[in-house]
């Protein structure tokens, strides 16, 4: 009886968390940030309600499918007894989450909530993705013995079968509808306050040819015709992933680099100039670099040439005319076009580039070197940590050029906190001087509180600047992880990874995974920290508050870390209630980050970089080198050895 009541109570708590507390928390978040996110919201009086009711319908149908067909509840802790692949699950693998996202978007539109539409909905999607990739998919696979099914909206299978009519038409949803909505979102938001023109003096040398608008406009029907000429599933999948990666690269650039193409006045009116003016009115100066027009023109050439190789020269010529028309209609600048071409080639050679990056990571991971000077040992991985320390010092020093002692306090408290934290969390691992990321956060946080209490420096400014520096520090720090072999992934047979062979690596000494193909988790972290840094710096140029910047850092870092932890394979990582401890900490990071975005503070004011800061950064880099790369291997004292 007690057991039954306990399970019932747990189910009520679980259901209440996701069905009551989470929606209320999102509403609270939207209300608290409505004066922070000052962006326009489109008026869509019918679509907003359609999204709300469609989302609600999906959720109700999916839950009933799990109850009646799966004989269970939509809860990971109390999963259904049977695998469900019909009903709402015929269309989506996760219809409840799809419905929740649709409702979030619809409610935001209905109430004209800028924070709901532009802040909470995108982050809600990110958090759902992180939860699925980092936890739920693994649980579902385990509960149902890797059972899976194909849904209506799944991409085509990876084979040489002819492309079906259904999948041919679905490309317009998978790719072009998503592209249209995201592109129009950037256009709708208008010219940002921190806009930067991409026009250079060479653009003045290009003649204005109004008739070339014919080729410019030709890009639209030719791009939309690509799905009609795709032959098989394999080629279609390549096109889909080409498009998705291209959109990812270009939309990210639009998000973090506020480049615009300044339109020049058109005095003479004709049929052609009227077309150009119409294009400008429906388009905009934003969403300029890289040029999507150029990217799609090259995608058109690639797939039409694959389908009709005998006349590929014709498609090359048409693609060339479209690209040139971007310049001669003054719709884009030379820089827009160049980076559009670069984006295409990154996409086209993505597998080669990715393998080369992993090759470099593997080289670094097996590059351990050490030099002995008596009882002192210098290990090469410490130099990567020093680079991270130098970059972090430069960033914080840039904002506090007259208070460098504070920069030292923040930096030293970071690696002291990291060392003490790891002693408690990983003390049983046999490591004498390990370091833990979350310990550095705690150490820095305590120091920032003390500094703000005993000085006139604003606490949020300290936090915001430290968050900006953290991504750079972690970026370089992960190269140290590669050499040392910490933070490594678990073995995988389905993903390109890296192999550790060096006998000094922790992968060999502690995990016994030497020579195994491991998830390149350090590389994943390098990439996410790189992307996060530029996003945070864009928030600085937009004059967003310091509290908002620290909040976004904690949200992004926590989301990515949650997924990264699910792929790690370190044996010393403790578990708590079915999840890695660091996943719980990542979730806490997200929640704290959300609360930080609700706080009100001043924006970060740009400082200056001088030679004194640079020299002090080098000195601080040596301190970091001593902490992370110099030890005493013959000593058995605590903190004496790095391995």
So what's the pLDDT on residue 448?
Answer: 86
Q: Give the mean pLDDT of 112-129.
A: 96
How many CB atoms are located within 10 Å of the residue 562 CB? 25
E-state strands within 195-288 = 196-197, 259-260
Instruction: Yes or no: say if 371 and 378 are a contact pair by the CB < 8 Å rule.
Output: yes
At 261-305, the pLDDT tens digits run 988 888 888 899 888 888 888 888 898 999 999 999 999 999 999
Structure tokens at 316: 């090359």
From residue 643, how far is each of 283, 410, 485 by CA, in Å?
58, 26, 10
Per-residue pLDDT reduced to its tens digit, 29-85: 999 999 999 999 999 999 999 999 999 999 999 999 998 898 888 877 778 888 999
Q: What does the pLDDT average to over 399-406? A: 87
User: CA-to-CA distance for 404 and 618, rounded, in angstroms?
Assistant: 13
Among 13-27, 231-245, 473-487, 488-502, which range has the highest average pLDDT?
231-245
Rounded to two decimals, what is the model's pTM? 0.92
User: Using only C-alpha atoms, what is the Rg of the chain?
Assistant: 27
- The stretch 179-207 carries a mean pLDDT of 93
Which residues does residue 373 pair with via DSSP β-bridges, in sequence order? Answer: 376
| Predicted confidence (pLDDT) per residue in 557-585, tens digit | 999 999 999 999 888 778 777 788 889 99
CA–CA dist 98, 551 (Å, integer): 26
| pLDDT at 243 (0 to 100) | 97
Cβ 300 vs Cβ 223: under 8 Å: yes
Tens digits of per-residue pLDDT, 416-470? 777 776 666 555 455 555 667 777 788 888 888 888 888 888 899 999 999 999 9
Mean per-residue pLDDT, 580-604:
93
Query: Taking a C-beta distance cutoff of 8 angstroms, is the pair 181, 249 a contact?
Result: no
Q: Which residues pair with 135 in a beta bridge?
A: none
Mean pLDDT of 206-222: 94
Whether pLDDT at 118 is above 50: yes
- pLDDT top residue among 179 and 631: 179
Is residue 566 a contact partner of residue 133, using CB atoms and an 8 Å limit?
Answer: yes
Say if residue 221's pLDDT is above 90. Answer: yes
Residue 6 has pLDDT above 80, yes or no: no
Nearest to 520 by CA among 357, 642, 387: 357
**Cβ-count burial of 325 within 10 angstroms (0-12 exposed, 13-18 middle, 19+ buried)?**
buried
Please give the angle made by the CA atoms of 104, 107 and 109, to the nearest 5 degrees.
Answer: 105
DSSP character string of 48-68: HHHHHHHHHHHHHHHHHHHHH
Across-strand partners of 259?
196
The rounded mean pLDDT for the chain is: 90
pLDDT tens for residues 472-525?
999 999 999 999 888 899 999 888 899 999 888 888 888 888 889 999 999 999
């Amino acid at each position: 009886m007690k057991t039954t009541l306990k399970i019932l109570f747990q189910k009520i708590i679980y259901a209440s968390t996701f069905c009551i507390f989470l929606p209320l928390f999102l509403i609270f978040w939207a209300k608290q940030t409505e004066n922070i996110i000052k962006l326009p919201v489109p008026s869509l009086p019918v679509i907003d309600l359609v999204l709300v009711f469609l989302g609600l319908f999906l959720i109700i149908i999916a839950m009933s499918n799990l109850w009646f067909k799966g004989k269970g509840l939509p809860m990971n802790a109390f999963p259904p007894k049977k695998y469900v692949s019909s009903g709402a699950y015929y269309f989506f693998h996760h219809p409840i989450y799809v419905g929740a996202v649709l409702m979030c978007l619809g409610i935001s539109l209905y109430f004209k909530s800028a924070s709901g539409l532009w802040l909470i909905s995108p982050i809600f999607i990110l958090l759902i993705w992180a939860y699925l990739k980092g936890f739920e998919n693994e649980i579902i696979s385990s509960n149902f013995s890797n059972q899976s099914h194909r849904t209506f909206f799944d991409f085509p299978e990876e084979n040489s079968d002819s492309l079906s009519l259904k999948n041919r038409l679905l490309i317009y949803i998978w790719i072009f509808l998503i592209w249209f909505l995201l592109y129009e979102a950037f256009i709708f938001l208008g010219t940002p306050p921190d806009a930067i023109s991409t026009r250079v003096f060479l653009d003045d040398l290009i003649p204005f040819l109004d008739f070339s608008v014919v080729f410019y406009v030709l890009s639209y029907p030719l791009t939309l015709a690509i799905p009609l000429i795709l032959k098989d599933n394999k080629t279609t999948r390549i096109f889909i992933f080409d498009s998705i990666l291209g959109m990812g690269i270009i939309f990210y650039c639009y998000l973090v680099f506020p480049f615009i193409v300044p339109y020049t006045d058109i005095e003479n009116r004709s049929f052609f100039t009227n077309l150009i003016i119409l294009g400008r009115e429906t388009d905009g100066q934003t969403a300029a670099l890289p040029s999507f027009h150029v990217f799609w023109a090259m995608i058109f050439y690639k797939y039409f040439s694959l389908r009709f190789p005998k006349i590929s020269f014709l498609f090359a010529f048409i693609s060339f005319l479209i690209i040139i028309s971007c310049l001669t209609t003054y719709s884009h600048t030379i820089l827009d076009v160049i980076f559009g071409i670069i984006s295409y080639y990154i996409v086209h050679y993505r597998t080669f580039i990715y393998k080369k990056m992993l090759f470099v990571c593997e080289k670094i991971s097996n590059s351990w070197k050490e030099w002995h000077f008596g009882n002192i040992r210098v290990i090469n991985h410490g130099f990567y940590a020093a680079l991270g320390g130098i970059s972090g010092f430069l960033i914080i020093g840039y904002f506090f050029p007259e208070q460098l002692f504070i920069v030292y306090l923040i930096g030293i408290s970071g690696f002291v906190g990291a060392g003490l934290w790891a002693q408690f969390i990983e003390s049983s691992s046999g490591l004498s001087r390990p370091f833990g990321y979350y310990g550095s956060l705690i150490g820095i946080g305590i120091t920032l509180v003390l500094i703000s209490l005993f000085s006139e420096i604003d606490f949020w400014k300290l936090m915001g600047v430290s968050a900006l520096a953290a991504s750079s520090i972690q970026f370089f720090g992960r190269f140290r992880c590669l050499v040392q072999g910490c933070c490594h992934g678990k073995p995988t047979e389905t993903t390109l990874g890296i192999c550790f062979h060096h006998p000094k690596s922790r992968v060999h000494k502690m995990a016994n995974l030497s020579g195994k193909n491991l998830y390149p988790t350090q590389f994943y972290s390098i990439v996410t920290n790189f992307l996060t840094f530029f996003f945070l710096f864009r928030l600085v140029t937009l004059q967003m508050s310091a509290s908002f910047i620290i909040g976004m850092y904690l949200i992004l870092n926590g989301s990515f870390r949650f997924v990264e932890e699910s792929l790690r394979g370190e044996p010393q990582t403790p578990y708590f209630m079915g999840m890695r401890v660091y996943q719980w900490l990542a979730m806490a990071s997200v929640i704290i980050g959300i609360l930080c975005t609700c706080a009100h503070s001043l924006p970060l004011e740009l400082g200056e970089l001088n030679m004194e800061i640079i020299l002090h950064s080098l000195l601080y880099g040596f301190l970091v080198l001593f902490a992370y790369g110099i030890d005493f291997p013959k000593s058995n004292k605590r903190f004496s050895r790095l391995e």
